[in-house]
Amino acid sequence: MRKIALATTFLSLGTFLVGFHKPTPLKQENPLSIKAKKAPLRVAQNTKKPEPQVDVPEGFLMAYKPLPKDYHNASSRSAAKIDLGRMLYYDTRLSKNHDLSCNSCHKLDNYGVDNEPTSVGHKKQRGDRNSPTVYNAAGHFVQFWDGRSPHVEHQATQPVLNPVEMAIPNPAYAVKVLKSIPGYVAAFQKAYPKEKDPVTYKNMGDAIGAFERGLVTPSRWDAFLNGKKDALTNAEKQGFIKFVSSGCLTCHIGPQLGGHMYQKAGLIKPWPNQKDKGRGTLLKDKTYDMFFKVPGLRNIAKTAPYMHDGSVKTLPEAVAMMARHQLGRELSKEDIASIVTFLNALTGSVDANYIKKPALPASSATTPKADPN
């Protein structure tokens, strides 16, 4: 009986313990409510090696150097002259009909050109030569296609008197206009304080020239020449190598890539249009027929159309024509495209504050009126 009682006791205790430790059933979750665990993202490793840089032979660069900060000399580095020149550059009262200024043909917000074969002048007349860019022009050895002006100060006086361009009848008339505007009289006095009568035609050109000496457009090409080897893309470097190896450096060298010499148009193969004889006409000497100033190539991609007569519309066409007539070579389309890629790298930056049109001084009752005739 004792054994039975003891067994009963253990059975009751086991039942109690089992009941005490009864496991709680797991909560059944709706499978649709369980958010799928995101697998860790695997970032693909870029195994492509960077393209090796094209090396330009040092010898190819010997004929080139960066643009200077400006082209000022001791006389032109005057804030008063530059400010006066900037006003004169934009002033249409220096034209007979008050409708043209230096900026009409040499638009400073358009890389210094009007993108016309030849520019529109007084009474809608047109000249017979293309208007070259004024940017960086102060660094050229002469001005105009035929080199008839020695520097920008003299050049600035010429279109004002040209009957096809701004058509002012004579220098005295231009001075009369300027002296009739009180603001200009004060500005000339400030710019030329040592002169008793500073409002002169020569000083007008001098001030405009002082302003133009600051029209410089540095580009990635300059950064490259200054040692930043990745300033140009590989395609641009290859284009420069093709430019040099094709013979373009015969004429296009220096900071401007030109603007330093005369050359005959049609040096190897006769030029197709020989109506304009260039320096031959100026000098009245056939020895110089078809000689023109070599243009600089700065901003060349922005200054179409091309050549002295503006007859070539596109840059690839101009490259092909130069190779054919100046070098006696027929370049492939691929070579032309490569050279054009390099030429695009010569597009520079413009100082917007420097070229901003200023407020112009007001006319007076004695200022000559516009004359359309």
The residue ranking higher by pLDDT, 31 or 101, is 101
125-163 pLDDT, tens digit per residue, is 999 999 999 999 999 999 999 999 999 999 999 999 999
- The yes-or-no answer on residue 330 being catalytic is no
Q: Which of 85, 68, 203, 79 is nearest to 136 (CA)?
A: 68
The stretch 65-81 carries a mean pLDDT of 97
Instruction: Reduce the DSSP state of residue 126 to 3 states and report it.
Output: strand
- The CATH number linked to 131 is 1.10.760.10
Q: Are 169 and 211 in the same domain?
A: yes
Residue (of 91, 117, 85) closest to 104 by Cα position: 91
Same domain flag for 193 and 90: yes
117 and 177 co-located in one domain:
yes
pLDDT confidence of residue 50: 72
Q: Is residue 336 part of a domain?
A: yes
The predicted structure's pLDDT at residue 9: 37
Q: Is 113 a member of any domain?
A: yes
Residues 167 and 236 in one domain: no
For 157, the domain range is 79-215
H/E element holding 262? strand 262-264
37 vs 186, which has greater pLDDT? 186
> Residue 5 domain-assigned?
no
CB 153 within 8 A of CB 204: no
Q: What is the mean pLDDT of residues 225-230?
A: 97
What's the confidence (pLDDT) of residue 52?
86
Let me know if residue 364 belongs to a domain: no
- Same domain flag for 187 and 231: no
Give yes or no: residues 237 and 334 share one domain.
yes
- Sorted by sequence, the CB contacts under 8 Å of residue 22 that are 6+ apart come out as none
Same domain, 111 and 135: yes
Same domain, 262 and 184: no
pLDDT at 127: 94
Q: How far apart are CA 69 and CA 372, in angstroms?
A: 41
Q: Are residues 210 and 246 in the same domain?
A: no
Q: Is 372 within a domain?
A: no
For the segment 157-183, the average pLDDT, to the nearest whole number, is 98
Sorted by sequence, the CB contacts under 8 Å of residue 122 that are 6+ apart come out as: 95, 96, 97, 100, 163, 164, 165, 166, 167
* 245/336 same-domain check: yes
Taking residue 168's Cβ as centre, other Cβ atoms within 10 Å add up to 25
pLDDT of 112 strictly over 90:
yes
Domain boundary among 215, 237, 258: 215
| pLDDT at residue 10 in the model | 34
Give the pLDDT confidence score for residue 22 in this predicted structure. 42
Final residue of a domain: which of 215, 243, 265? 215
214 pLDDT tier (thresholds 50, 70, 90): very high
Across the range 256-269, mean pLDDT stands at: 98
Domain boundary among 189, 215, 241: 215
Tell me whether residue 39 is in a domain.
no
Do 267 and 322 belong to one domain?
A: yes
Assess if residue 150 is contained within a domain. Answer: yes
Name the token pair of 62: 């010997």
Which tens digit of pLDDT belongs to each residue from 339-369? 999 999 999 999 999 999 999 999 999 999 9
**Among 153, 165, 212, 236, which one carries the catalytic annotation?**
165
Give the mean model confidence (pLDDT) for residues 108-134. 98
Number of domains in the chain: 2
Q: Per the domain annotation, does 95 fall within a domain?
A: yes
The phi, psi pair for 149, rounded to 5°, reads: -115, 135
Q: Looking at the predicted structure, is the pLDDT value of residue 291 above 90?
A: yes
pLDDT for residue 19 is more than 70: no
Please count the other Cβ atoms lying within 10 Å of the Cβ belonging to residue 331.
19
| Eight-class DSSP state of 124 | G
Among 2-16, 75-89, 185-199, the least confident range = 2-16
Same-domain check for residues 193 and 301 = no
